[in-house]
Structure 1
Amino acid sequence: MATEPRISIQSASQRKKSVAEEPVTSVLPGGDVPFDPSHEFNPDEEVLAALGYKSEFKREFSLFTTFCVSFAVLGLLPSFASTLFYGMGYAGTAGMTWGWIIAMIGIQCVAMSMAELCSSMPTSGGLYYASAVLAPPGWGPFAAWITGWSNWLAQVTAAPSVDYGVAAMILAAGSIQNPDYVPTNYQTFLLTVFIMLIHGVMSSFPTKWLAQVNSGGSTFNFIALIIVIILIPAGTDRVSRGLPKFTPSSEVWGTIYEGTSFPAGVSVLMSFIGVIWTMSGYDSPFHLAEECSNANVASPRAIVLTSGTGGLFGWFLQLVVAYTVVDIESVLDSDLGQPFAAYLMQCMPQKITLAILALTIIAGFAMGQGCMIAASRVTFAYARDDCFPLSKYWKQVNKTTQTPVNAVWFNCVIGILLLFLIFGGALAVGALFSIGAIAAFVAFTTPIFIRVFFVGNRFRAGPWNLGKFSIPIGVVASAFVALMVPILCLPSSTGADLTPDVMNWTCLVYGGPMLGVTIWWFVSARKWFKGPKVNIDHMMLGREGNMVEGEEVKGNDSGSEIVPDPKAVEEMETTKPRELQ
């Protein structure tokens, strides 16, 4: 009986390379992909098809626009303003100066290792997909499950925490204008919900519009950051208050504020929560990879560009604040309810204070928008693999906008529900920031850890890679996060001073949900969740069970190469499903 002719990328498009030869971690047997003879694959579609997915989005993001979304999500100025309580409150100016440098070494290692994974596997699932591909045989679905839920917790709490910070700054500005006005939790809640709804509407628009809006927002973010870095030292009125214009360097770099009951070194490490939360947005290019042109090069570049630029300018911002703050304790205990506004009131004229707050609020609004977009892409990618209840609704792509609108509003509703923590007080709502810091970096590092300690030299790198420095950088990244996870769960007080009011609830608000999804895995999910789904069978690195009998994995300097046995391939061709022939 005659069989239908095979259609491959090479025969249909007359390319010199097949999809199997693309520099990606997962390759298809023989290089075949779901293919429409009337459509010629471009390089981005080939790479995505080699990972087992079909292109569903318009690729209207470039390196610059992807960086813009990522930098908007990073939001240095509003992020710093929202987390000043932790960075300054735990270790004072010393933690803000040399503490930031130490933290950035670990963070930059995480970013570079992540970028290497992104180049190899440029999919919306990102870290979740990478964990499944790289995990030891039999552990792929569980690794994807844990990574996915941890990353989703970070993503779904990002927009509400940012929008809460924006709302608090708006109301603090009102208090500065009218000293008799004291914001209430109810007002903060309603204003934050209103901002969330605006972002939900904006995030439902087409990709091209989103790229343009976020380019503008990111540009404003960067310009506002530069203005504030210049304006604070230039406009401070410390001299008129009987103080030197700047605090002496010996005090700024050498004095550690006793904001915790732990030794000074531990207090500095605890202050890293501000750095980690501020620098947790550089994974956005990974999640936007399926909407980015030349994704396996542009997306990893955007990751490293975001983390490097953010780290440098974030340190500059830390320095100008550290050299001009007057009284740390007054900043933390101010009735304004927003430490950054209280700091500005200490060392700046009222008009300049309001101007800086206005810039920060607008930048924060753009940041919240970027967070909402990134979170929706993560939810879509996980729903595509049926991670969530009612996933069939959240994985739908709107036919008009070509964006995952249902996923946007799913996240928006979850975020609004989380905002009820506002009524529990500052420490309760602070759990949003704690979840974001730990959940994000656990998700970031899980596939990096697997790649370093289980895959090793068998890893098949993409066109953007770290070469011989890949393993050492991955080790530093893994060690940094392993150290910081328990540190960030420590309470600021100990002994008799430790009460429920000052308890660090991070271990509960993050550990509780993660314990729940782990139990869910062993009770039910392991029976039906098989990890990232693909459109046709594909090979995962290091999976003997997924290889055709007779194949072997050979290591070389560039990674691993799957070498099929000719007889095994011929046998596979006669037994593969008809639609793949």
Structure 2
Amino acid sequence: MSQEEPSSSENRYSLLLTPELQERIRHLGDHVLHNEALNERLRTIGDQVLHNEAFNERIRNIGDHVIHDIWQDDDETQEVEHFNYKQELKKKFSIASIIGLGFSLMNVPFGIASTLSIGLVCGSSFTILWGWVLFSFFTVMISLSLSEIAARFPSSGGVYHFSSILANEKYSLISSWFTGWFLVLGNWLMFISYAFGGSQFILSIFGLKQSDYKHDDYIVLLTYFGIIALCTLVNLKFQSQLERINKLCIYWTIYTVLVMDFLLMIFSNDFHDLKYILTNFDASRSGWPDALAFIIGGIQFASLTFNGYGMIVSMSEEVKEPEKTIPKGLIMSVLISALTGLIFIIPILSILPDLNSLLDDNPDIFPIDIVFKLSTKSFLVSFVLVILIAGSLTFATIGSLTTASRTVYAFGRDHGLPFNSLWQQVDTMENEEIVPKNALLLSVGVSCFLGSFSLVSSSAFNAFVGCAVISLNLANGIPILSSILNKRKKIKGSAFKLRKIGYLVNILSCIFIVLTIIVLCFPPSRYIDIRTMNYAVLVFFLFTFGIAIGYFSWGKKNFQGPLLDRDYSAESQIGTVPLEIIQSHDHDISGDGQFVEEDPEYFRHGSDEDIQMDTNDDDTETLFELPDHSSISSLREDPAKNARSSDQADTS
């Protein structure tokens, strides 16, 4: 029997290694193994690591510290940060109104109707249903994270104030600048998206009668300007009715969904079974792998709807007890929107027509219009359903202009915009309502200007929608990330506590925000051309580049960030005072309870005889000492005066 041939691996290595090289490798290995000095040195290092009590104790302390930071319960003391701004806007919105505003900004019927085609391309029923469920879950996580911060720092500046306070002091100003501009930009683009998308949706009614309908760019633009004019009129002339309008939005949207479901079930003859609704998946039109198609379709389908909830933080100065009202409004509006979306989606999927008729026949008609037309087989019923969605769209557009104007007002007040004195000005209207008129008109002017780009390139203009979602997600994510990096220390004492799950909720929020931003850069289908390309990321980077230039050329010297009220301290107060009194930086209280124009030091250092207050008054709230990070922003008064005030406080 012949001698066994060496294995293929042995043949391969024998060709690579010459006998001389193999001998050198064996010699080197023997040298390492038998080198007593080297082995002894390694053993010594190992023993030092194992038996170094100081080192081991330090490791244990680090571990205990991390576990303590993550799992410890926050104490029961509640602290609300106060800002050194004059209270100019009336506190007229209730919790129901704030929930209605958040609900209208998410605008479930139109949000689902306008992005239905994305879900159909990227997987059909399975992607639409389960993408909505997953996106709802993570949106709740983000709303919880923002609510905890908003309860600690209630301010109309919202997330850009949060970023300034929660970021490291070295990066406080630049963090606040970028967050503020992302917030302003997101508010403007969201308003544009609703107004322009609404004009296209309203005109698509003609497609219910004409299957070959093609929209005219000029008519769409004129309708867009008409919607903007209506929203401007409501925000200027009917400011006192916004409370009722926001409440009405809740009822209109919920009844719209219920009526639509009822009519579709009554008039439709063909229904899919439950298995089709829950499991039918077809991503062949997208060209992406199935898993990636589901992620792209699910996130892009739901992202336009779950986008505007964070904008209601800008209404903090117009509600009573914002540290309680804003968190409730955030969370409840998201939960109601998630549930309403499910109630709307499931009946739509149960009667869903063939994809070819929805996506191939006429790209200028919204797929939801075709669903109505084919399912009800009645122009009148389809027309009523479209009008119901158009009504909810009107509420969303009015609300988005309201929040955009408040954001511009707050950002201008902090010198974040050129000609800041113009944008922070408020006007008293004929009905004695106080409105930031100039900030509102600036938002309208920017919207009209950017809307005109639709005549140049419809693809570039459609990128504004994706850019709005990216901007608002970044604005929400920066303060949450800053809180994590600072071990959540600065939000301790919040009236809304996440306690042990805080780190988990914050981390999940940041991960999902990053994933959303990445996914929004992808087109729903790989089969793209110049017209269907996703330009959102290009538009966003152009805006970001402009924001960066603005910071280094102008903002670094002029932007001041949030003005925290340093003099608002428990140790220097006698008794308690109502929160409304402190929210105006240039008012104080005299012994007889009257407002007087005095230096804040009068209140801080007044004697017992000068300040008489009833500590048992039920309408008051106890004051707490500000955390150390209150020094990140300067007051508007003379710096020398602030220095003297600090010295006096230290002496006392």
- Alpha-carbon contact 1:206-1:403 (below 8 Å) kept: no
Q: Does 1:345 align with 2:377?
A: no
| Letter of the 1:356 counterpart | L
User: What is the aligned-residue RMSD (CA, Å)?
Assistant: 2.9
Q: Does 1:521 align with 2:583?
A: no
1:458-498 deviation digits (Å, cap 9, x = unpaired):
4224212212211110110001111221121013454xx54
Residue 255 (structure 2) aligns with: 223
Residue 405 (structure 2) aligns with: 376
Give me the whole-angstrom Cα distance separating, in 2, the residues matched to 1:169 and 1:185.
Answer: 13
Partner of 1:261, secondary structure, is: coil
Q: Does 1:358 align with 2:387?
A: yes
User: What percent identity do the matched residue pairs reach?
Assistant: 20
Give me the whole-angstrom Cα distance separating, in 2, the residues matched to 1:71 and 1:151.
Answer: 19
| Letter of the 2:484 counterpart | V
Residue 554 (structure 1) aligns with: none
- CA drift at 1:538: 7.8
Give me the whole-angstrom Cα distance separating, in 1, the residues matched to 2:191 and 2:354.
Answer: 31
Residue 465 (structure 2) aligns with: 433
Q: Does 1:168 align with 2:200?
A: yes
Give me the whole-angstrom Cα distance separating, in 2, the residues matched to 1:142 and 1:574.
Answer: 25
Q: Does 1:308 align with 2:335?
A: yes
- Alpha-carbon contact 1:162-1:364 (below 8 Å) kept: yes
Give me the whole-angstrom Cα distance separating, in 2, the residues matched to 1:162 and 1:422.
Answer: 14
- Alpha-carbon contact 2:568-2:626 (below 8 Å) kept: no
Provide closer, same or farther for how the CA distance between residues 86 and 24 of structure 1 changes in structure 2, counting only shifts above 3 A: farther
Give me the whole-angstrom Cα distance separating, in 2, the residues matched to 1:574 and 1:307.
Answer: 45
* Bigger relative CO (Cα 8 Å, ≥ 6 apart): 1
Larger-Rg structure:
2
- Which of 379, 402, 408 matches 2:434? 402
- Which of 88, 94, 103 matches 2:120? 88
Give me the whole-angstrom Cα distance separating, in 2, the residues matched to 1:218 and 1:334.
Answer: 35
Provide closer, same or farther for how the CA distance between residues 237 and 145 of structure 1 changes in structure 2, counting only shifts above 3 A: same
- Alpha-carbon contact 1:52-1:537 (below 8 Å) kept: no
1:421-477 deviation digits (Å, cap 9, x = unpaired):
433565333212201221111111110111122242342242122122111101100
- CA drift at 1:196: 0.6
- Alpha-carbon contact 2:213-2:365 (below 8 Å) kept: no
- Which of 285, 288, 301 matches 2:312? 285
Residue 292 (structure 2) aligns with: 266
Partner of 1:138, secondary structure, is: helix
Provide closer, same or farther for how the CA distance between residues 251 and 25 of structure 1 changes in structure 2, counting only shifts above 3 A: closer
Provide closer, same or farther for how the CA distance between residues 59 and 249 of structure 1 changes in structure 2, counting only shifts above 3 A: same
Provide closer, same or farther for how the CA distance between residues 442 and 523 of structure 1 changes in structure 2, counting only shifts above 3 A: same
Give me the whole-angstrom Cα distance separating, in 1, the residues matched to 2:384 and 2:129.
Answer: 25
1:343-388 deviation digits (Å, cap 9, x = unpaired):
2223222222111101011111111111111111111111111211
| Letter of the 2:310 counterpart | D
Partner of 1:57, secondary structure, is: coil
Q: Does 1:504 align with 2:534?
A: yes
| Letter of the 2:405 counterpart | S
Please give the residue correspondences for 1:89-488 in structure 2 after superposition, counting only pairs within 5 Å: 89-178=121-210, 182-205=214-237, 207-238=239-270, 245-246=271-272, 249-250=275-276, 252-271=278-297, 272-335=299-362, 336-350=364-378, 351-400=380-429, 401-424=433-456, 426-488=458-520
- CA drift at 1:158: 1.5
| Letter of the 1:349 counterpart | K
Provide closer, same or farther for how the CA distance between residues 524 and 85 of structure 1 changes in structure 2, counting only shifts above 3 A: same
Partner of 1:429, secondary structure, is: helix
- Alpha-carbon contact 2:152-2:491 (below 8 Å) kept: no
| Letter of the 1:347 counterpart | S
- CA drift at 1:560: 10
Residue 576 (structure 1) aligns with: 645
Give me the whole-angstrom Cα distance separating, in 1, the residues matched to 2:112 and 2:628.
Answer: 51
| Runs (5+) with no aligned partner, structure 2 | 1-75, 570-623, 630-640
- CA drift at 1:577: 8.0
Partner of 1:279, secondary structure, is: coil
Residue 42 (structure 1) aligns with: none
- Alpha-carbon contact 1:67-1:306 (below 8 Å) kept: yes
1:254-290 deviation digits (Å, cap 9, x = unpaired):
3133342321111122121221210112224311111
- Alpha-carbon contact 1:273-1:437 (below 8 Å) kept: no
Provide closer, same or farther for how the CA distance between residues 534 and 467 of structure 1 changes in structure 2, counting only shifts above 3 A: closer
Provide closer, same or farther for how the CA distance between residues 499 and 168 of structure 1 changes in structure 2, counting only shifts above 3 A: closer
Give me the whole-angstrom Cα distance separating, in 1, the residues matched to 2:487 and 2:276.
Answer: 47
| Letter of the 1:282 counterpart | Y
- Alpha-carbon contact 1:58-1:207 (below 8 Å) kept: no
| Letter of the 1:109 counterpart | M
TM-score of the pair, normalised by structure 2: 0.72
- Worse-matched range after superposition: 519-528 or 310-319: 519-528
- Alpha-carbon contact 1:326-1:346 (below 8 Å) kept: yes
| Letter of the 2:287 counterpart | S
- CA drift at 1:25: 5.9
Provide closer, same or farther for how the CA distance between residues 268 and 309 of structure 1 changes in structure 2, counting only shifts above 3 A: same
Provide closer, same or farther for how the CA distance between residues 107 and 488 of structure 1 changes in structure 2, counting only shifts above 3 A: same
- CA drift at 1:537: 7.1
Give me the whole-angstrom Cα distance separating, in 2, the residues matched to 1:365 and 1:206.
Answer: 15
Partner of 2:545, secondary structure, is: helix
Provide closer, same or farther for how the CA distance between residues 247 and 511 of structure 1 changes in structure 2, counting only shifts above 3 A: farther
Give me the whole-angstrom Cα distance separating, in 1, the residues matched to 2:320 and 2:335.
Answer: 22
Partner of 2:326, secondary structure, is: helix
Provide closer, same or farther for how the CA distance between residues 511 and 329 of structure 1 changes in structure 2, counting only shifts above 3 A: farther
Residue 603 (structure 2) aligns with: none
- CA drift at 1:530: 2.9
1:39-74 deviation digits (Å, cap 9, x = unpaired):
xxxxxxxxxxx2322322111111111111111111
Across the two proteins, how many residue pairs are aligned to each other?
A: 505
| Letter of the 1:174 counterpart | F
Provide closer, same or farther for how the CA distance between residues 359 and 55 of structure 1 changes in structure 2, counting only shifts above 3 A: same
- Alpha-carbon contact 1:175-1:183 (below 8 Å) kept: no
